[in-house]
Amino acid sequence: MDCVQHIDSAKVNEGDEKDVELQNQRDKSIEGQRLLILTDEQPWKPWKRSRSWVKECLVRVRCVMGSLMGMEWYCFATLGVLTAFLSFLMDLSVAKLLRAHQWLYSQLEGHCLLQFLCWTLYPVSLSALSTSFSQSICPFSAGSGVPEVRTILSGVDMPHYLSLTNLFAKYVGLICTLAAGSTVFLGKVGPFVHLSTMVGAYLNQLCTVLRGEKEERTEGAMLVVAAAVGVASCFGAPISGVLFSVEVMSSHFALKDYCPCFFAAACGALTFHLLSMWSGEQETLQALFQTSFSDDLPFYPLEIPVFAILGLLCGAGSCIYLFCHRWILLFIKTNKILIKVLSTEKALYSAMVVFLLASVTFPLSAGQYMASKLTIKQLLSSLLDSRQWTSQSHNASMVLQPNLCPWSEWISSGNPYLTLGFFLFMKLWMLVLACTLPLPAGYFMPVFIYGAAAFSGAVTHTLSPALLALELTGQSTHAAPILLATLVANALARSGQRPSFYDALSISKKLPHLPSLLKVCPRLSSVPIGKVLGPRGPVLERAAGPTEVQQVLNTCSQTQIPVVDTLDSQILLGSINRSDLQTFLCHNHNKVLKKQLVDMCSIQPVSVQLSPDTTVQEAHGILSVLCGESLFVTERGRLSGVVTWPEMKRMMADLADDL
């Protein structure tokens, strides 16, 4: 009997082995058919071995590069190089368009009417093109972009301002704006900081893919670095670029971003200088506006009070400029005619304003007293020239060749002091009017030309222009007087809680940027969060089951869900991550025995709890420093509400509407 059983079992084993072999043969044939089908249906993917070899090499390169330093450092370097290349390409395009305008104007010499039409219609056409193109492609591309980037860095999500469409529209529109020349008198610093942050946002996504992460990290560090790179790529000034990012862009600057900022800014500045050398604009790596002041005795000690008086004058001038700027922004928002024109005919408004500005700066009329033939770069070069204007003879060859002798435009009227005084008076209101144009434009460089470090520092409430002046000129011997004048001008401009230029733009656009709101309304610093806190979101009790968890996940998008003892007591126990709740649901779906939330999920304790009496300013600061997803507001241990970045944005927007 046992032998029969052994024989039967042996037959069964042999049968099983044959079945396994047949199944393996079938699988191989099916796999071969699949490969054949894929080869026939996808002829556009040839050289599979070559492609696999390339992929393997790329993986090895990534491993080698990752072993040297983190992948984010390569992204920082790429950010600096790309931004500098975009800056150089923009300068090259603008220079060609400006030379075309100058050539056409010179060819019409002797025909006053034709010269007037050439002088006015050229910038009018470019400004109208900049407005219509940028507004039709992306309406968010108009203006500087610095207030919006500051708002994003404060934690508010504004994805439209970092889109690829905005990048394209702002870049092309800014070229047209700068090509309008000193007639419009606008710059590129602010928009280029915005462009740099857009490039940084996409590089951050690329860095996330290269690291092989499934979840996206916060892009705040990359945007802070990009803001510094934007300034460094415009002037080749990395140190002042980092200081600008610290002073203007970040509400709370993290020390971990310090080295990446300098690294990326240095890469951008070095690339900018190298491109300028290869194009023939510079002979070596030097300051952009090299000066020739004496190093032995740059200034007399008795001149130090004069620098302080100059700072007072620049501070007073900045107060007048900021007042006029805030007034015209309010006038545009309240005037019914301008509201209608700017809502339907933005290009027409730009054309009308630019035609007025161009008519005033026509060289054969009032423009001869304003050095209107000079470009923005030539204006700054001539004003930083160490030669004495009064000692120069202004013959006809000098006047007709401003490229060789830009300072000669200031003495074309016979009296350089008259020209300079008329320039200061006219450009003040013209710059205020130009700030209302709905096109991509920067406002820092014109202000810097108007009053240099002290005036621009007072307008922006920063000290970085003092360092920028030193890096642009290479004149380190004047560090003390420049810093003194800038400090005095800042002290006068900051008195009385006056908002800066960028704060005024944020307030006018009603952006949820709390530091700007506090400048115009200091009483907001004492507003308790319990007064403006919205309704409490969904919560879970510790004994919740799958039904309650599923309902919360369907109605809530937060990553941290608060857990209370019971729904009646509302005693806060902690929070649970959204991923843990999804795991809890999967486990209960597979098991017949249903378990409660506390049986399977670990409740994370809450390290920071806010009181309803905590001010909005304090809550905003804590949320920015901790970089957390949410903060819980409790009163005597009972949950009162949850503060997230969307909730903080809503509260700040409500506060801005009340102003």
Establish how many alpha carbons lie within 13 A of residue 194's alpha carbon, considering only the half-sphere containing its beta carbon: 33
Q: Are residues 90 and 59 in the same domain?
A: no
Q: Are residues 576 and 433 in the same domain?
A: no
Q: CA angle, 265 as apex, 264 and 270 as ends, to 5°? A: 100
Closest listed residue to residue 427, CA positions, set 494, 374, 486: 374
Q: Which structural domain range is residue 91 located in?
A: 72-278
Q: Are residues 343 and 429 in the same domain?
A: yes
| Predicted pLDDT at 172 | 93
Residues of the chain with pLDDT under 70: 1-48, 51, 55, 58-59, 61-62, 64-70, 210-219, 282-285, 386-407, 412-414, 589-594, 627-629, 658-659
Burial class of residue 580 (count of CB atoms within 10 Å of its CB; 0-12, 13-18, 19+): middle
Q: Are residues 423 and 384 in the same domain?
A: yes
Instruction: DSSP letter for 296, please.
Output: S
Does residue 289 sit within a domain? no
Does residue 39 sit within a domain? no
Q: Which of 524, 551, 567 is the last residue of a domain?
A: 524
Q: Are residues 338 and 472 in the same domain?
A: yes
Burial class of residue 61 (count of CB atoms within 10 Å of its CB; 0-12, 13-18, 19+): exposed
Answer for the pair 441, 371: CB distance below 8 angstroms, yes or no: no
Closest listed residue to residue 268, CA positions, set 307, 236, 305: 236
Neighbours of 294 (CB within 10 A): 9
Residue with tokens 């006053």: 112
Q: pTM above 0.85? A: no
Does residue 541 sit within a domain? yes
Q: Are residues 88 and 220 in the same domain?
A: yes
Q: Are residues 110 and 232 in the same domain?
A: yes
Q: Which of 484, 504, 524 is the last residue of a domain?
A: 524
Query: Would strands 609-610 and 630-635 be described as parallel, antiparallel, or unpaired?
Result: parallel
Q: Which of 500, 524, 548 is the last residue of a domain?
A: 524
Instruction: DSSP letter for 606, please.
Output: P
Number of independent structural domains in the chain: 4
Does residue 42 sit within a domain? no
Q: CA angle, 154 as apex, 233 and 322 as ends, to 5°? A: 70
Q: Are residues 507 and 550 in the same domain?
A: no
Q: How far is CA 52 from CA 17, 40, 48, 376, 600, in A?
A: 36, 19, 6, 53, 44
pLDDT digit string (tens) for 13-33? 444 455 545 555 555 454 444
The CATH number given to whatever domain includes residue 395 is 1.10.3080.10
Does residue 428 sit within a domain? yes
Does residue 650 sit within a domain? yes
Does residue 318 sit within a domain? yes
Q: Are residues 92 and 226 in the same domain?
A: yes
The CATH number given to whatever domain includes residue 593 is 3.10.580.10
Q: Are residues 417 and 553 in the same domain?
A: no
Q: Are residues 368 and 498 in the same domain?
A: yes
Q: Are residues 442 and 569 in the same domain?
A: no
Beta bridge partners, 540, equal 563
Does residue 30 sit within a domain? no
